[in-house]
Amino acid sequence: MNKKKSQKRFIFACMAPAVILVTIFMVIPTFNVFRMSLYKWGGLSNNKTFQWFENFKILSKDQNFLQSIQNSILVITLVTIITLVIAVFFAAVLSKENVKGKNFFRVIFYIPNILSVVVISAIFGAIYDPQAGLLNSILGFLNLDNLKKMWMGDPNIVIYSLIFALIWQAIGYYMVMYMASMASIPESFYEAAGLDGAGKIKQFFTITLPLIWDNIRTTLTFFVISTVNLSFLMVQIMTSGGPNGQTEVFLSYMYKQAYTSSAYGYGMAIGVVVFLFSFILSAVINKITEREVLEF
């Protein structure tokens, strides 16, 4: 009995610091966001007006917020799908093919992930510069002047310019994760499949993909969370939501309302929507991608 009590005390002592930190820095702030979303408050005075769900009613009619939701969904969808496909493809090539300099390519692909968002924004700001930028310079060298664009100034393409930067930043990280999963698959599986006449493409879809599926499911949730956060930072640094709100995502719109427009309560209402959106989307992704676990 004393031994069991000692074990429980030890477990409690080990968990207590983590529980306290999570409560102080996550649970309480999240609760406060929900609470403040019910108030009309500028954020700088003690004059708060409790108004129930009025902020959410205004949100439902706010065209700028609805535009930011559309932009966010577009960014999350394209970044997730394109990054996943490219990362899995390169991971499979570098893991299973006899490519010279594999370690060199691993490092090259991973470098963007260790750069800060500020550095990445500066790099793509230089690439997209309409006068001396690398992209327009290459197009001019190839006599494709008709394809030159104001990459960060054209409302029709600016969101895609940001999406490309986000994809470039994320590919290396997820590629390394998938390579780690592929490296653990026994080579005998591929040898047996090869003897049965299965080509490399069929081996990929019948062996590699099913056996790394759990890893893909996990990273899909990472995609959602990281894209929501990084898109906000990229937008703030590179475009500030412009031109004409075409790159506004819901976190950048929340920041403007809460901290620059003296509408803190309204901004927290946006924060509640973002929280629920991210939580529900992650749950839906996990449910859709659920399948029987394959072991080897």
pLDDT at residue 293 tops 70: no
Decide: 171 and 83 in contact? Cβ < 8 Å. Answer: yes
Q: Note the pLDDT of residue 85.
A: 92
Distance (Å, whole) CA 157 – CA 251: 20
pLDDT at residue 296 tops 60: no
Could you give all domains of the chain from N- to C-terminal order, each with its CATH number? 71-288 (1.10.3720.10)
Distance (Å, whole) CA 287 – CA 279: 12
Residue pLDDT, tens place only, 96-135: 777 777 778 778 888 888 888 888 888 888 888 888 888 8
Q: Please identify which residue in the block is written with the tokens 């559309």.
A: 70
Residue pLDDT, tens place only, 32-89: 888 888 888 776 777 788 888 888 888 888 888 888 889 999 999 999 899 999 999 9
Q: Note the pLDDT of residue 109.
A: 82
Total residue count of the chain as it appears in this document: 296
Decide: 261 and 172 in contact? Cβ < 8 Å. Answer: no
The helix/strand/coil state of 195 is helix
Q: What is the pTM of this model?
A: 0.85
pLDDT at residue 154 tops 70: yes
Residue pLDDT, tens place only, 231-248: 887 888 788 777 777 888
Using 50, 70 and 90 to split pLDDT, how confident is the model at 150?
A: confident
Measure the CA angle with vertex 293, ends 288 and 296; round to 5°.
150
Q: Note the pLDDT of residue 86.
A: 92
Report residue 221: phi and psi, to 5°. -65, -40
Count of Cβ atoms closer than 10 Å to residue 168 Cβ: 16
pLDDT at residue 1 tops 60: no
Report residue 49: phi and psi, to 5°. -125, 115
Q: Note the pLDDT of residue 37.
A: 85
Q: Residue 73: which residues within 8 A CB-CB, separation 6 or more?
A: none
Residue pLDDT, tens place only, 2-43: 677 778 888 888 888 888 998 998 889 888 888 888 888 776
User: How much is the average pLDDT of 149-173?
Assistant: 87
Decide: 269 and 59 in contact? Cβ < 8 Å. Answer: yes
- As a whole-number percent, the residues of the chain with pLDDT over 90 amount to 5
Using 50, 70 and 90 to split pLDDT, how confident is the model at 147?
A: confident
What sign has the CA pseudo-torsion 60, 65, 69, 70? positive
Q: Note the pLDDT of residue 294.
A: 60
Residue pLDDT, tens place only, 178-204: 988 888 888 888 888 888 888 888 888
